[in-house]
Amino acid sequence: PEAITVQELANRMAEKGADLVKSLFNMGMMVTVNQTIDQDTAELLVEEFGHNITRVSESDVDIDTSEDQDPEETLKPRPPVVTIMGHVDHGKTSLLDALRGANVVKGEAGGITQHIGAYQITTKNKDKITFLDTPGHAAFTQMRQRGANVTDIVILVVAADDGIMPQTIEAINHTKAAGVPMIVAINKCDKPEANPQKIRERLLEHEVVVEAMSGDVQDVEVSAKTGAGLDELIEKILLQAELMELKANPDRLADATVIEAKLDKGRGPVATVLVNRGTLKVGDVFVAGTQSGRVRALIDDRGQQIKQAGPATPVEVLGLGGVPQAGDSLTVVENEQRAREVASFRQQRETEKRTTLAPTNFDTMFSSLK
Ligand code: GTP
Ligand code: MG
């Protein structure tokens, strides 16, 4: 709720102050150009003069990259971003480990994924796939919801020896709400008690009709333990990705989404981001949520320092002024002054929000990977 002087509003609309005064007079208000009017009145005037209403304060300062599209000819194919979802202990992390040939599960506290891990694999045919691993624990529902919205494809992991569990259903609902295609990976098929057919039948109750049941949702039997079915899973991901013709412009200032962020004892604020478009480079100046910074180092998912990261690449960013929130966008800007201006504007807005009613809505974080 801002007040603005008549003259200032006239300047912003490129109209004469006197004309505004006249209009206000016709609306029954006696004011001079130096007097302030409230926001509602200002909006009425703006409409009266045939201009579009934008929140002047925001659009003047803040950056919103979700609307501006890159020209078709600048777009190049990019890897798909695949999020692995499913009930706790159904084998999400194990499956991802098997796919990337590493072992993360053993390094996790109690074997439960505490955060969204982000990894990229390169297939035999040199295709790249980016994976996001989400926690299966009920307490992490919100985090998982965030994961679904930066994603192109969801892999729903269901353990063949268990069945459709509460978080399986939650993942199905969230995937449907986000309008993201799903591939069902029926895991733990190496177990003697595994019953993949039962899983397929049970999925029908949740309106997930897999190919084997004459539906259009791809499904594949896998075992993270033996590696069975993994090649087929990768094939299905690539097939789905091909249909989607995923593209992004790599030759521009980067924007990215913060997947997770923390304050690291030795390294300071660290954010894992997923580049949406453009190429993020060491030395780039950026604003990430309410924080500004300059990229001091980029570290890939194998812990290697890299110089730059293109579209759909997950990368750790060092050089932040503070810790941003998961789900924030990180946007590269022209210079430090601009970065600070945007960051301080956003900080101010946050403070204002906190003093008014501010419902948190994780679903507002929609992908800019378009
Ligand atoms: P959260 O991150 O806690 O939600 O679990 P998760 O879904 O990532 O499961 P995780 O990969 O940690 O695996 C859970 C347990 O199932 C571990 O003990 C794995 O060794 C076991 N497991 C995973 N995949 C398979 C499989 O294909 N076969 C068998 N036999 N065991 C598996
Ligand atoms: Mg896990």
> Is 115 near ligand 1, meaning CB less than 6 Å away?
no
**The pLDDT of residue 50:** 86
- Find the ligand nearest to 185 CA: 1
Does the beta carbon of 223 sit less than 6 angstroms from any atom of ligand 1?
Answer: yes
Instruction: Tell me, in angstroms, the distance from the centre of ligand 2 to residue 90's CA.
Output: 8
Closest listed ligand to the CA of 161: 1
> What is the pLDDT, as a whole number, of residue 102?
60
Range from 33-47, 252-266, 323-337, 342-356 carrying the lowest mean pLDDT: 342-356
User: For residues 353 and 332, which has the higher predicted lDDT (pLDDT)?
Assistant: 332
Instruction: Tell whether 187 is in a known binding site.
Output: yes
pLDDT surpassing 50 at residue 369: no
| Residue-level pLDDT at 358 | 40
Q: Is the CB of 112 under 6 A from ligand 1?
A: yes
Q: Which pLDDT does position 177 carry in this prediction?
A: 83
Instruction: Tell me what pLDDT residue 359 has.
Output: 42
CA of 185 to the centre of ligand 2 (A): 15
Cβ atoms of residues 272 and 258 within 8 Å: yes
> Does ligand 1 come within 6 angstroms of the Cβ of 92?
yes
Residue 347's pLDDT is: 87
Q: Is the predicted ipTM greater than 0.90, yes or no?
A: yes
Give the chain's length.
370
pLDDT tens across 62-85, in order? 777 766 789 999 999 999 999 999
Is the pLDDT at 297 greater than 90? The verdict is yes
Whole-model pTM: value is 0.78
- Of ligand 1's listed atoms, the one at least distance from the Cα of 94 is 11
Q: Answer with the residue of higher pLDDT: 345 or 351.
A: 345
Confidence category of residue 39, pLDDT binned at 50, 70, 90: confident
For residue 229 and ligand 1, the question of a CB distance below 6 A is answered with no
* Average pLDDT, rounded, for the chain: 85
Q: Which atom of ligand 1 is nearest to the CA of 90?
A: 7
- Whether residue 229 has pLDDT greater than 80: yes
pLDDT of residue 370: 33
